[in-house]
C-alpha cells in the first residue's frame, strides 16, 4: 500500500504566554518569559516559589460550568486547544465525518490537581466526601476521552504516557494511524496542569527545579553555564493531522508535512539521559531516515532544552553526533526558556513552534543565554529571534524513564 502523506492542517496552543496560538507565538518572538511567582497556593514553605502558569483562562468559554466541574484542568486545557486547532483547520466534527476522526492526547501526570484536592478531603472529612468524578478527573486517557465525547470524534482514541515526551509521542503515533489508513484525521497532542503543592514538592525535592526565586523570568536558561534546573510550566498543544488528499479535497492549505518520527529508549536510568545523548541521537537519526533527509537539510531544531545541567549537555552531544559538521550551522533554540517546561504538553506545543518557524520564517530565541558553556557549543539563537528561510524543522522531546522522540516537519511542496 502506498505510504499516505500526513499533513498538519490546524494548531492550537494554551500556554503561560497566552491562551491561543497567536498570543503564545507573539510572546515567543518578543522573547518574553511566562514565569512568575506561583499564584495558586501558598509557597512560603517551599524551596521553589516560581513557575510558568496559565493566566486568565476561563473554561466557560468552551463548556458549561456543570461539565467543567466534572473535569480536571488538564482536560479543560486539552479541549480548549483542540477547539482552537479545529477552527484553524476549518474543520467541524459531525455525523458525516466523526467515524474517520480520532483523538490521541497524552498527559504525563494526568489529573493531579483533582487527586491532590480529593486526598485532602479524604483525610479531613472522610471517604464519603470523595467526588464520584475523581477517577474520570484523574486518569490521563480522559483528556482524549472528553475531547472525543464533546466533539463526537469516534475514530481511534487513546492516551500515551511517557513523561515529558508524551505530547510528541501522541503526534507521532497519531500520524502512524493516518498513514495506516485507520483514520483520515487525528486530533493529537498533549496537556498538563501539574502546578500543585504535591507536584512542586516532588520535583523540588528531587532537585530538578531552578531555585532562582529572586528572578523568576531568568530562572529558565537552557544551555547557559549558570542553569540550575527547569521551571514548571503548564498548558496544552494540539495539532490536526490529516491525510494529504483529504486536506486538498477540503480546500485547506496544509501548514506543514510531518515527514519523520523517531522514538527510542535510553535503557539507562530513571531520570538521567544516556551518556553522550546516545538514545536521543538515535531518535533524531530515525526521524531523518524516515523523512529521507540529510543532516544539512534541517534548518531549525526546537530543542528539548530543559535548563538542567545534564539534559542540555546530553542533548548538545546528541545533536553533534546526529548532525556532524552540520550541527554548527544548525539553528537550535529552546522555547522552554519562555514557556517553562510544560511537561506532557511540551513536546506537542514545541512541535507547533517548529511548524510556526516554517510558516513565518522566524526562529524563536533561547532567552536568558548569558554565559556560554564550553560543553554546549552550538548556535542556540541567543536572546533575540532570527529571520530565516526554514524549509525543514525538527522538534525533540525526552522524558524521565529514558523516552526519546524526534519529529521532523517540512514545508509542503
Which residues carry out catalysis?
Answer: 164, 304, 341
Task: Give the H or E element holding residue 37.
Answer: strand 36-37
Task: Quote the CA–CA distance of 187 and 212 in Å, as a whole number.
Answer: 37
DSSP code, position 268: S
- Indicate if the alpha-carbon torsion angle 210, 215, 219, 224 is positive or negative: negative
**Rounded-to-integer distance, Cα 273 and Cα 250, Å:** 43
Going through 300-361 in order, the beta strands assigned E by DSSP cover 300-302, 331-333
Cross-strand bridge partners of residue 224? 372
Q: How far is CA 97 from the centre of its chain?
A: 27
For residues 238 and 78, the answer to whether their CB atoms sit within 8 Å is yes
117: closest CA among 193, 32, 212? 193
User: For 54, phi and psi rounded to 5 degrees?
Assistant: -65, 140
Question: Residues with Cβ < 8 Å from 203, sequence gap 6 or more?
Answer: 48, 209, 232
- Kindly state the helix (H) or strand (E) to which residue 235 belongs, with its residue range: strand 235-243
Answer yes or no: are the C-beta atoms of 189 and 81 closer than 8 Å: yes
Give the separation between CA 118 and CA 116, rounded to whole angstroms: 6
Provide the grid cell at 189.
Answer: 497532542
Residue 214 CA: distances (Å) to CA of 143, 219, 229, 335: 35, 9, 15, 21
> What is residue 127's DSSP assignment?
G
Amino acid at each position: 500500500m502506498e505510504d499516505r502523506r500526513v499533513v498538519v492542517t490546524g494548531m492550537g496552543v494554551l500556554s503561560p504566554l497566552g491562551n491561543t496560538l497567536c498570543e503564545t507565538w507573539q510572546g515567543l518572538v518578543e522573547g518574553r518569559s511566562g514565569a512568575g511567582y506561583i499564584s495558586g497556593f501558598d509557597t512560603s514553605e517551599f524551596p521553589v516559589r516560581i513557575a510558568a502558569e496559565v493566566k486568565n483562562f476561563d473554561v466557560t468559554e468552551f463548556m458549561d460550568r456543570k461539565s467543567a466541574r466534572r473535569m480536571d484542568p488538564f482536560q479543560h486545557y486539552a479541549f480548549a486547544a483542540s477547539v482552537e486547532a479545529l477552527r484553524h483547520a476549518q474543520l467541524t466534527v459531525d455525523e458525516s465525518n466523526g467515524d474517520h476522526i480520532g483523538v490521541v492526547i497524552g498527559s504525563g501526570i494526568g489529573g493531579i490537581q483533582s487527586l491532590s484536592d480529593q486526598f485532602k478531603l479524604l483525610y479531613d472529612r472522610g471517604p464519603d466526601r470523595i467526588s464520584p468524578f475523581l477517577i474520570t478527573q484523574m486518569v490521563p486517557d480522559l483528556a482524549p476521552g472528553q475531547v472525543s465525547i464533546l466533539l463526537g470524534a469516534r475514530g481511534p482514541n487513546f492516551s500515551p504516557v511517557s513523561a515529558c515526551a508524551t505530547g510528541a509521542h501522541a503526534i507521532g503515533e497519531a500520524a502512524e494511524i493516518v498513514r495506516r489508513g485507520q483514520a483520515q484525521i487525528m486530533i493529537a497532542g498533549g496537556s498538563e496542569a501539574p502546578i500543585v503543592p504535591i507536584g512542586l514538592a516532588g520535583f523540588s525535592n528531587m532537585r530538578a527545579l531552578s531555585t532562582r526565586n529572586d528572578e523568576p523570568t531568568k530562572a529558565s536558561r537552557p544551555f547557559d553555564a549558570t542553569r540550575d534546573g527547569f521551571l514548571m510550566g503548564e498548558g496544552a498543544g494540539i495539532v490536526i493531522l490529516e491525510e494529504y488528499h483529504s486536506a486538498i479535497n477540503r480546500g485547506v492549505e496544509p501548514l506543514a508535512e510531518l515527514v519523520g518520527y523517531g522514538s527510542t529508549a535510553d535503557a539507562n536510568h530513571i531520570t538521567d539521559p544516556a551518556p553522550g545523548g546516545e538514545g536521543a541521537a538515535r531518535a533524531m537519526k530515525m526521524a531523518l531516515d524516515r523523512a529521507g533527509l540529510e543532516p544539512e537539510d534541517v534548518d531549525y531544531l526546537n530543542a528539548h532544552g530543559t535548563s538542567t545541567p545534564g539534559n542540555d549537555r546530553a542533548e548538545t552531544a546528541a545533536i553533534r553526533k546526529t548532525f556532524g559538521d552540520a550541527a554548527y550551522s544548525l539553528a537550535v533554540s529552546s522555547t522552554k526558556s519562555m514557556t517553562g517546561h510544560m511537561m506532557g504538553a511540551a513536546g506537542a506545543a514545541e512541535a507547533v513552534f517548529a511548524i510556526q518557524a516554517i510558516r513565518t520564517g522566524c526562529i524563536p530565541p533561547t532567552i536568558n543565554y548569558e554565559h556560554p558553556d564550553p560543553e554546549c557549543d552550538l548556535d542556540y539563537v541567543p536572546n533575540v529571534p532570527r529571520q530565516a528561510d526554514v524549509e525543514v524543522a525538527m522538534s525533540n522531546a525526552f522524558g524521565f524513564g529514558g523516552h526519546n522522540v524526534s519529529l521532523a516537519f517540512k514545508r509542503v511542496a
